[in-house]
Amino acid sequence: MTHPRLVEAMTKPGFYPHRPPEVETLQTHISFIFLAGDYVYKVKKAVDFGFLDFTSLEKRKHFCEEELRLNRRLAPDFYLDVVEIAEDTGGNINLEPRGRIIEYAVRMRRLPADRMLKKLLSEGRFSPPDMEKIARKVSDFHRQADTGGRIDENGAPAVIRHNQDENFEQTEKYIGTTIPGETYRFIQSFINGFMDRHRPLFERRVREHRIRDCHGDLHIEHICLVDGVVIFDCIEFNERFRFGDAAAEVAFLAMDLDFNGYPDHATAFVDAYVRHSADIELVKLLNFYRAYYAYVRGKVISFRLDDRGIGERDREAAKELASRYFDLAYAYAARPERKTLILTAGLMGTGKSILASRLASLLRADLIRTDVVRKEMLHIDPGEHRYEEFGKGIYSEEVSRRVYDRALETAASRLRAGKSVIIDASFKSRTERLKAAQMAKDLQADFFILECRLPDRLITQRLKARMSEKGEVSDGRADLLGAQKGDFEAIDEVPARSHIVVDTSRDPERCVHGVIAEIQKRQTA
């Protein structure tokens, strides 16, 4: 009975036995929430969205009871009871209750707003020990959560495949609006390929009972650091959204932290969870599930565009937000499954730095620029230009050898830490390229050389334009191009699989997408 009379009654302080000084009303697409002093009352709307059905009083009572039961797993002291709302013979709506029961509400203790994780993060009041507490709470919860039977069935590859296919079917109509066709196809290819390659892993997760009755909606707005850690507002209305691999739930929170600008916290959460759960294999599934949840968020927000009542401003905001989630899904899908060392190679002005920078961002790889290493090593301000003769001064063979050695040492350290690395340099020498290839082999990292090519006239144009760009580190200039061409040794010393030629005359974004697709194709062949 979530009609205006009930809502109006529940907005008044006198409606509640404890007489709060004021009542704040919030609403979602499925609930009304009344913040009444020290307590919160949540009433379900009489709606049917297919994936949930609250259309009858009996169903709303059932799901209120389910909400209470399920959330007491993680917040036992805050979820208090289910209360009856009645209407007496005079038409007065009350909580006594007097009269016939017309509605039910979940009653909770109010959580302190200043201890919500989202607020703590935004104000910089969040510390590493706090993340340890959250990871331990989630890990302990997963360990104790129900598993087996119909719960396990939701981890079967066929079910996961169905869920993924459903996402793509439901978002196809948004191609060109919130998701580019190229992005849509790339993510779809990644999902299908990953599931084909790792079917035994998914099956093993089921056998090991890694599929659990989880929270289902674990993001930063549902975590409060009070009385230790309180996690609230789990999914009660559809078991399908709650039953899943513990890895998926971990990925959901990590994705939400990434999206909100806290990637380091996301990494810390995952690391702490793996440490407490001893579920080392979970890491193999993280990008898959992070891509899935980012895609789901993009899908759900895209649905808003189907509402004819939405204003133009809200429509544009929804488009922008959905696109950001789809972009994040793409970034996850693009990341290599194994640690990888990538070199750029080619003449000055061919777009190596632009390509390397964008790739590093999407692949979440560490970027090492030899132009920066050179000047840092020689204690020169990166913005200071040194227009030396070719092969002289700070660009002598001896200095360059030391620069490349330093870059490779740094790359090795980061590869040992499990990270992927991109070295932005000319790599004109076979010797230096072979050193890099051997290092990658020794550290069991995949290895690629991206040879950037561009017609001379375009190189000249770019170099002339670059000289006037503020903050540009490179000292490359057009009058050195001929000498560099004569000094560049053809790339023929590595297997064809490791050598990717990049036409950088194309649009930079298309260039980047093409390189990522090519790397992924070769890594999974």
pLDDT band per the 50, 70, 90 thresholds, residue 467: low
Q: Both 297 and 160 in a single domain?
A: yes
Share of residues in the chain with pLDDT > 90 (%):
77
Mean pLDDT value of segment 339-349: 92
Q: Which of 280, 311, 334 is the last residue of a domain?
A: 334
Do 158 and 305 contact (CB within 8 A), yes or no?
no
Spatial contact of 86 and 97, defined as CB atoms under 8 Å apart: yes
CATH number of residue 372's parent domain: 3.40.50.300
Do residues 189 and 312 both lie within one domain?
A: yes
CA-nearest of 207, 93, 234 to 153 is 207
Q: What is the pLDDT of residue 507?
A: 86
One domain for residues 192 and 66: no
Better pLDDT: 486 or 285: 285
User: What are the distances in angstroms from CA 443 to CA 338, 447, 493, 496?
Assistant: 11, 10, 19, 20
pLDDT for 149? 93
For residue 122, tell me if it sits in a domain.
yes
Q: State whether 139 and 26 are in the same domain.
A: no
The residue from 334, 368, 396 where one domain ends is 334
Q: Does 470 lie in the same domain as 383?
A: yes
**DSSP codes, 53-121:** B--SHHHHHHHHHHHHHHHTTT-TTTEEEEEEEEE-TTS-EESS--SEEEEEEEEEEPPPGGGBHHHHH
Based on the fold, state whether residues 132 and 56 are members of the same structural domain.
no
In a domain, 525, yes or no: no
Q: Which residue has the higher pLDDT, 466 or 106?
A: 106
Q: Looking at 278-287, 298-307, 316-325, 439-448, which range is the least confident one?
A: 298-307
How many angstroms from the chain centroid is the CA of residue 455?
38
Q: Answer whether residue 522 is part of any domain.
A: no
Q: Give the pLDDT confidence score for residue 383 in this predicted structure.
A: 64
pLDDT in tens, 253-268: 999 999 999 999 999 9
Lowest mean pLDDT among 6-10, 430-434, 485-489: 485-489
> Which of the listed residues 309, 334, 359 is the one where a domain comes to its end?
334
State the pLDDT at residue 191.
Answer: 96
Verify that 325 and 201 share a domain, yes or no: yes
State how many domains the chain has: 3
At 24-47, the pLDDT tens digits run 999 888 899 999 999 999 999 999
Confidence of residue 525 (pLDDT cuts 50, 70, 90): confident
Give the pLDDT score at 388: 56
Same domain, 237 and 131: yes
Confirm if 255 and 261 have CB atoms less than 8 A apart: no
Strands 421-424 and 340-346: parallel
Q: What is the mean pLDDT of residues 421-426?
A: 96
**Residue 474's pLDDT is what?**
52
Kindly report the CATH number assigned to the domain that includes residue 244: 3.90.1200
Percentage of residues in the chain having pLDDT higher than 70: 92
pLDDT recorded at residue 482: 57
Backbone angles phi, psi at 34, to 5 degrees: -115, 115
**Contact between residue 153 and residue 202 where contact means Cβ atoms under 8 Å apart:** no
Q: Are residues 383 and 265 in the same domain?
A: no
Kindly indicate the confidence band of residue 222, based on its pLDDT and cuts at 50, 70 and 90.
very high
* Strands, E assignment, 357-489: 366-369, 421-424, 446-453
* Interatomic CA distance for residues 483 and 425, integer angstroms: 17
- Residues 357, 309 within the same domain: no
Asked whether residue 380 is domain-assigned, the answer is yes
Position 309 confidence tier, pLDDT thresholds 50, 70, 90: confident
Q: Looking at residue 387, what is its pLDDT?
A: 60
Of 476, 253, 470, 305, the residue nearest 386 (C-alpha)? 476
What domain range includes position 502? 340-517
Query: Would the pLDDT of 377 be above 80?
Result: yes
Lookup: tokens for 520: 């992924």
Confirm whether 524 is domain-assigned: no
Q: How far is CA 140 from CA 136, 144, 164, in A?
A: 6, 6, 28
- Whether residue 206 sits in one domain with residue 124: yes
Q: Is residue 301 part of a domain?
A: yes
Structure-token match 């895609």, residue found:
295
Residue 68 clears pLDDT 60, i.e. is over it:
yes
Tell me: the pLDDT tens digits for 124-170?
999 989 999 999 999 999 999 999 999 999 999 999 999 999 999 99
Question: Does 356 fall in a domain?
Answer: yes
What residue type is 329 in one-letter code? Answer: A
